[in-house]
Each structure stands twice: as structure tokens, then as C-alpha cells.
Structure 1
Amino acid sequence: MSYRVLLVDDEPVIRKGIVSSIDWKQENIDSWAEAANGKEALELIPEVNPDILITDIRMPIMDGLKLVEEVKRSYPDIKIIILSGFDDFEYAQKAIKNGVESYLLKPVGADILVKEVKLLIEKLEIEREKKAAELRNIKLIREHYQSLKRAYTIDLLSGKFSSFEDLSGQATALGMEISAGRWYAMVFSIDDFLLWSEIDTDLDQDSLRYLVLNVAEEILQKHGRAFGTMGELDQINLFVECCTRACSSDNCCMEITSYLEEIKKHVENYLNCTLTIGIGRPVNNLLTISTSWKQALSAVRQKAYMGKASIICYQNRFDSEMNVVEYPSVIERDVISQMRLCNRELMHAALTNYCDALVKNRASSLDYRQHCQRLIFMSISGLEESGIDSHDLPDELSNYTVRLHQLETAADFEQHLKQYFDELLEIIQLSKDEKYTSFVRQTIDYVKSNYSEEISLASLAQAIHITPNYLSKLFKKETGVNFVDWLNQYRVDMAKELLISHPELKGYEISEQVGFHDYKYFTYVFKKYAGKTPRDFRN
């Protein structure tokens, strides 16, 4: 195993001498970082993540003693060696009291420094092995006890117990105190749980859930009787006794909130994750706790709309809101259209409308995910219609479909879709940049921004400083059609989008919006390029 060292000294010559005079690779030190004072060192520590800190005492801005104090408070696992002048001996003694592992008097020989570093590496290896052994033991204990506890909870939730005596007898055997009072269920959901494996941490997902469960049980037991067990994936099921017989659902939420906030704060500070908590209504007997648990599940699913790190008390409307959602196909076409036009602002607005439609209908997480998958699939078809071969797309784009399964809230999905479509926009823009010369590209960009206005080849040529005749020949050569046909086709395409996405608009209003100020002529051109009249197309 290799280790990292941070060297702190205000004299560059000393730092250089220490680094260059010893073959540190041979001593299992594979990474060095340097700082000129304590303040600089503190700023480097989160980035460098050193195992060993070697520091001078007397330095400007922040001296070694202050650095030691800060490091031991914030990074207690880092081992520290102080390099001290003879006159600094009293300071070094103070540092030793603060937990410094070793101090050496300057000038220090290479062999002595190597010896001290080796001793610290031995300590680090012992501590790491001890920590690994503790984690292994925790895992073994957890697997045995939690499996029994979970089996008990499954029986409880499936209504297998026929009497309270049977229920409480098994609970006692598991070391849990159960009463005949009113109980209610809670479901804890660890936010962004499926992304946990991507975080640089010693905790695996099961260990994280186990620690959250321990924290929750410990704090809730200040409130009264409580026990919990692992649920599905990111979930932890907890069952809490009401403080009073008169406890209503509103009272339960109010009386428990302060404890839940304490749990959330503790988990966020020490485990670096957040929790969303759903709370069911109280039941008169633990035998019927499954009713409250199903309500808690329904409540925690509202995370998709209420956001992460929420405490959500069950309401009757939650169950009625999870209906099959009609797919917003009209908005989908608007998204694809704006993507093909490379209009980022209108594309983002269409994506917001798309997500708002799903939120308005309270789509379930499964519906939300499936609809987003369909939109991504349709976007590929849109790219191919723009002349881009889907086989030429970067492999990284497929990650967007995979990541859909890791998203939890409506806000997550909307942000994800916007990032994905921004990537497609860049691909389309690059394709266009490579396809056309500057003159033709400027012409096309101008038309797309001003197609509702009067446009002539002569005015365009004047704007880009070439002759109309040259622009006409160049445009046809690169696009394959003459300018007037291209302009009419583009305006007809825009009219098609408006006919579909805005059924409230009259034909003459659409005609005006796409640059035709004579409705009869618009109808003639539309039929020529679309094969049918605007009315027939809309119908």
C-alpha cells in the first residue's frame, strides 16, 4: 500500500532537500505535496488527502502549532512529524500534547527522517487493518441480526401474526420492546442512493443503510419505543410508538419532527448524505401497522415533487394522484423541433413545459422515467432527420439513458434532459458548421432568426457583402436547392409545427407568423411543399 505526504516549510531549500535526498518511492511514499505555511497547507489537505504531515514550527501567516491544532481537530487520522530548531523545543512539547506523533530537531539526517516515516506507516497500517476488521465484524453481526429482524418485519407487514402475544414474543427474542399502544410507520429514503457507489468513500451501500438505521433508532428511542429494519434499495423502515393514546396523524408529525430533523442533521454531517422521510398515520395496534407503512411509502414517493431532504406526512390525495399519465406528445414535437432549429432558449422552455406536464399529472417515478426514455429515443430520430447518422454519435450519449435510473425528483429529470439536449444541440451545430461555408451558414442562420419578416436574396447578399448572383449559385451548390425553395420549405416546416402545437391559432395568424402576408398565397405554397392544405394537414 502506498501513502501520501504533505511537507510544510517556509524555506524552499529545505523542502527541496527533503524531497530529493531520499528515494521515497522505495519507502512506499508515492505522492508528495508542498506548502510554504500553515494556511496554504490547510487549503491543500482536502485536495491532497495526505496520510502524513511533516511541518516546521516557525512560519509566516500560520505557524506549525496552529496548523497542528487545526489538523488534529479536522483531520485526526493524519500523522504528524514536527521539524524543530533547538530554540523551538518548548513549542514542540506543546505540539506533542496536541497529539503530534513525532518531532525531530533540525538539521535532521535522511536516515532518521526515513525511520520516523516508517514508524508512522506501520501505525497507519495497523490502524487501517483494525478499521477494516471492525467493518468486517460489523458486517457479520449486521448480516445475522438484521436478517432475523427483517424476517420479523416482513411477517409483521404481511399480517402473519395472529395475536399480539405472538408478535411481542418474537420481538422480545430479538431484544425489542413492544407495547400494545398506538404505532405509526416511517420510511426513510437515502437521497441519491444509486449514486453512492460513485462517491470516494470506504462505506458501501449496505454499510451506509446500516449506519443510518442505527442513528435513526438511537435518536427515535429518546422519543419512545422504536425499531427499524432495512427496506428495498435506498429505504429503511421504522416503527414508532405514539407518545399518547390521543395521538392523531397531525400530532404525530408535529411531535416527531424535531427528532427527525436531528436524525437528518446527524446523517448529513457525519455520513455526508441526505434523507427524505415519509410518515404514515397512527394505527391502534401494531398488528395493523402495514396500513401505516403503506401510507409512509406513498408519502416518501412524493419526493419526486416535494424534493430531497423533505419530511412528508401522508395525505389521502397521494394515492389518487398516482394515475397513468397521458404522454405530452405535442410538447415532445416542440422539443424536437427547437432542437433541430438549434434554438437553445426555446428548446429549454419546451423541456420545462414537458416536465411540467408530467408534474401536473403527478406521474409516478416509473412513468417519469419511461416518458424521458421515449423523449431521448425520439431525439435520435430528430437527429437523423437533420442528416446526422446515429451510428456516428459519441458513446457517452448512451450514459444519459443509463443515468435515468439513478434520478429521483422532477427537478433531477428536468436538469438531466436539458444537459442531454444541450449535447445534441452542439452535435447539430458542429455538423452544420462543417457542412456549409460561412456565407451559406450566415444566410441560413439569418433566415431561422427572421423567417417571419420580409426576406430577399438581394438583402441577404448585401448584409454579408457578396453579390446576389454569387450567393444564389453558392447556396444551390451547397444545399442542393435554390434559395427561394429552401426559404419556402423552411417557412412551411415552421407552419407545420404551429398547426400542431397551437390548435388555437387561425390559419391566417400562422401565415403571418411564418412570413406570408397573403393567406391565399400561403395556402398555395403550403400545398405545394406539404402536399395538402393547412386545414387538411391540421385535421
Structure 2
Amino acid sequence: MFKGRFYRNSLILILLISSIPGIIVGGILYGMTGGWLEHALLQLHTSQILQRASNIDDQFTYLETSLAHWAFDTKFNSQLYETNFYQDFEIARDLTKTLNVMQGSTPLAKQVELFLKGTQYIRFYPEYDVISNEDMIASYNQFLSQDNLVFWTTLSDDASHLDKKDLTLVHKIPGVDMHPFGALFIRINEEKATNLLKTLTPYNVGETFMMQNGGDVLLASSKDPQSVVFDEALKAEVLQRGGKSGSFLYESHKNMYTVSYGTFRRVGTEWMYVSASPISVITKPVDFISKLILSVSFAALLLAVLLSWFASRKIYSPVDRLVTLLTGSRPLTGSIGEQHDEFKLIEKEWLDLWRESTTLQNKLEAQLPHVKEGFLLQLVQGFLSAYSEDDLRERMRNYGWVVDECQFIVMHIQLTGFANLEGRFGQGDESLVTFAAANIIEELSTNRLEQVNGINFHDLSMGLLIMLPPHMSYTTEVHELSDEIIQSINRILKLNVSICIGKPSTAIRQIPSHYEEAKQALSYRSFKNENQIIDLNSLEPEEDMAELHYPFVLEREIVQMIRTGQQHEAMDLIKSFLDALLERGAKEIEAQQGMLQLLGSILHAIRHLGMDPNRVFRSVNLYDQLGQIREPQKMLHWFQHKIMNPYIQELESRSDVHWKKAVETAMVYLQNHYMKEISLDSCADHVGVNSVALSKSFKQITGTNFIDYLTELRMEKAKELLRDTEQKINDVAVQVGYQHSYFNRIFKKHVGVTPSHYREMSRNMHS
């Protein structure tokens, strides 16, 4: 139902009055609780990270301070260097107690140990122990050789677990001596240190790790494979950004993390902590509040819309009844301004109706030629035979033809010589050429005749339907039109034209049969590419028509060339065959029948050669294809590409297989009879082929000629007998098919040494 400007204005006004306050309040609340509160939570999270990082720093600072205090204790003075702990066992006991006290007073300590380098290598762990393991001694000596008095390192638990290392604080003793002979070690409890590190993720969700400046991870909150991959990616990002502290947002697997990192200054080095927490966990309270505000605001807005709609309909109901009377139930069209002004409806409706009528009339006039052509196409092809004469006349009147008291004349036009258009048009452009010719014919015919329509078949053929007064003589006019069409197409398109003028009729129902007669009559045109006009109304039967001379001799020669696979000679003979058909003025139908008969003979010969034409030509209907061709050059082109090329390809593939089998048979024969007197002729007789052809195929397939292959085979057998048997050289020569004197010469020629020398060389190599 139409709603105009008044309705929309009233609805918008009520919506604004009821909705603006709620939108403003909701927007302010959402902005405050959403953006500001979210920012405040992120700032609070960052502050917590800094505070907890400071706490961790304090723990490690306390550890370093405590160890430094103990290192300067008098218990760890230079007297320990000369102490014999077997005799002074009380000193050893005091040291053990001291180490236990140190471990107990340090929350992060896993183990406190003492290493002394004197007359013996001694370790308190915390009990007294003499070190005998060379790897362990080398490890401790390495620590003593460092320049720093106090430093952090990683230390393996024992010699059997070198891959498992603890984070360890080392302080050389005595602390006041420039030449220390021992060191205190505090191994960090990894579990406690990890729990302390986890305080950097306040929501128990996320990842935290601590690393050296070089990127080596010292501690990590989790060691599962997923966390390790995430930590490595995060570590690379932090190292790429640089700086000693900072924070940024990081996205991984569609999750956004807030990342904070900073630096711990330790004795002799610097550590960096990295903490990553999902933003979704931090802002979870904000998300809930935001969704709640949006839901309440949306519900209030929906209620305001419903109330506004109800109120505006009540206000607009009198105007709506008036608009309905003017427009009915039709939807309104036109500009936006016209749709919003109810008082211009009457003027608008009249103008719209006038424009619609004009548009439909223009569309009908534009489409009428295509509709008329489609009707004529159905008419001449006999698809409207179910209609009566009156129905056909009525339909033609509706299309704008004057069909009362008219005679109807049909013309069929065929273009030939398309194969000679080299460079201008290519294969597949027949439809384009036909379209151009149809435009030329239609322009020429409409200039001469009042009622004439063309039919484009898009296959180098066209039709014309001419409507003339019943008693008007059409012969002169139609013949002049035909001559003009031929001359124009010859000049513009360089094509030849054959035109058949059908018999006149006064009934529309006779048009299909008359057009079919004209179409069939063109098959009696001369098959040569020349211009021709056939008028069925004045055509007289040729009683003394000469019988077609069929060139049987050429047919036999063509079949013989095909059997022997001589492609070029066969095509030359096919051209001579077609010329022989045309030299006595053969009609189109006669030339087609002659070429179809030749095609049958060729297919018969191919089948006699053991080939299946259906397989060779891929089950294509060759007779149907040939029957559609109306030009000599196209026929020759078709025979070349559709008959000869596929046949020669099949023949060559079969020939290759045949000769390959023949050569393989010959090679087997030579391997079994090399010791006998063998010639190329005897081998060819055994295989059953011509000796010359066998020699040629043997060379092509094996890469060597027949004699060289036989000689090489005999030489290999001779070398085998000379190496593996004690037969005389005369006997070896006989066994490989040679006389002794000739065997020596040919063996030396191919091997490079005499048979006796070769046997001697072989024995020396084996010995």
C-alpha cells in the first residue's frame, strides 16, 4: 500500500522523539563502559605485571645478596684450602650445617653446595664428598677460571644427567681473596621459580618465560609442545622489536594477546621476562556489560519503533484512504520526489501510462523484424503445417504483411568458393560471411521490391520470400535482382552465388513445398565454383543428358596407393578423380554421389587391410559429413584431413609394432644360431620378411646394423669361452662360427689383442 511524504514525515518525527534519548544514553554508557573501562583494565593489567615483575626481581636480588653475605663468612676463609677434612671432621660437619641453613633461608634454593680445589677436589652436596669424575672436575674448574666473582650459569645435576641443568648462582670463595680456590653454588628450584614466574599471568591463562639477552630461555611457565612453539614465536617478536621493556598486542591462532616484557639486572648479566595474556580474559567483564547495554538499548529501540508505527498509522489513515482511491493497488513508479507528493499522483499516473505505451510500441517495432524472420524460418521448414490457410494469413497480417490477393515467390541462394578466401576468412567464419551476405541481399531486394523478407540459415545459404500482386509479371524483376545480388557478392565478398527461383503460388501453405523444390533444384547446378541462376518456372527437362562417366581406373589406383600407404600420391589421384567427374560438367548431386562412392571403396579397402574404420575414424558419420560439402576444394581438404591423415597415422603405428616384433625375432634367432653360417638373407627368410626392409628396420630399432650386431655377439661368446674354458683356440673359433685364421684377425680387430693374449690376460687377472 502506498505511503507518501506525510506518512513518512510523521513516522520519522515520532521515531526521533521516542528514540533519540535512548540512543544518546546507550551510546554514552557503551562508550564509557566499553572503551574507557576496557582501556582501564588493560592499564591495570600492565601495572600488575610491573608490580609482580618487581617482586620476582626482589626475590632474585635477595638470593644474590644472601650468597654474597655467606661468601664473606669466616667459615669460608682461606684456611679451608689446607684443611684435612678426614682429621678435622668437625669442620666438615659445620660446613654441612651451614649449607643446610643457607638452603633453608633461601626460598628459591633447591640445593646449596660447596666446591673446594686443594690437594683433592672436594664437594659438599651438602655432605662431604671427594670428586673423582674427570668431567665433573673439568666443569667446576671452568667456573673457577671465569673472571667474574659472582655470576649466573646452568649446572647439570650429576655426570649421568648432563642434559638436565639447573639455573645456578655461583660465588667464588673466599670472597676477599684474589685467588679463589672454591665456590658456593645455589641451585634454583625450577618448580618454585616457575610458580613465581606464573605470577606474571594474573588470570592463570597465558604464557610467561624468562630468557637471557641472547634469547636462551631460562624458565618457562609451561613446557608442553604447543606452549613451546608459542614461546618461540613470541621470543622472536620481542627480540625483533628490541628495547629493554615495553608492551604490545600479539595475534596467534585468531587469539589476541597483550604482551609485556622487561629486564632484570642480575650480577654479570641481564635477564628479560615476557608475559602474554589473552585480552578476552582481561576484558571479559567489559564484554558482558557491553552486551547487556546493547541488548537493553535494542529492546528499548524496538519498543519505540512499534509504538511509533502504531501512532503514525492512526494519524495517516484518512490520507491513506484518499491515496488508495487514486492509485488502486498498483505500486508507484517515477522519481523519489513524485512518490513523496500525494497531490501530484493524478498527473504522474497519466504521464506514466503515456510513457509505457510509447515504450512498448518502440520495443515492438524493434523486435518485429526478428519475429518475422523466425516466423518465416518455421514456415519454409514446414513446422507450421498444422495451421490452416486462414490462420497463416491472419498471423502474417498481425506481423504487418499485406497478404490479400498476393502471389508468393521463394528464392534459395547458396554461396560457394569459401575455401578460396585465403587470408580474409578462416575455418568457422561461415556464419559471419552468411550474415554479411544476408545484409547485402536484404538491402538490394528492399530497394527493388515492396514486400520482400530474407531468411538467414547461417550455413552459407539464405532464402527470400517475395510477395507481389497476383497478375504482375515477376520474371524480369526477379532475374534482374538475382543478377544484382551475384555481382554485389562477387565484388564485395569474392564469393560465387547460385540462385534458384521457385514456382509462384497464391496459397501460403504451398510455400514450404515450393521452397523445398528450389532447395533441391540447386543440387543439379554445375559443381564448379561459378555463378548460376536456376528458374524452376522456365526450367525444361534435359532429355539427352549425357551419362556420368565414373573413373573406375582412377578409383583402383587410389585404392592401391592407400594400401601401400602412399599418402601424397593418393591425394593427387583423388584430385584427378574429382577433376574427371567435373570435366563433363557434372552436377552437384552427381559429384557428391561419385565422391561418396569413392569414399565407400576407400573404407572397404581399409577394412580389407584388417583395420576397423569405426576405430580409425572414431565412429564419425563420414558419409553425412561429405554429403554436406558443396565445393570441390572443401571436398579435397576434407579427404586430406578426415580420411588420409587418420589412416596414415594408424598404418604407421601398426607398421612400427610389426617391424619391432620382426627385429626381436631376428635377434633371438642370431643368439641361438650364431655358431652357424648366417647371412642377412637366411635370417630374413627365417623371420619371413624382405631382407632389405629387415636391414633397415634392424638399424633403426637396435642402433647398429645386422653384420655388426652378429660380429659383436660372436666376439662376446668367444671371450666367454676363452676365459672360462681350456678349449683350443681353433675349437673356440669353430664354436662361434669362424675359421681359425679369420677368427684371429677379426678378434684382434674388435678386442685389440689376439685370442691367446686375451686368454693369458684373463688368467693373470684372476690369479
Q: TM-score normalized by structure 2?
A: 0.30
> Greater strand percent: which structure?
2
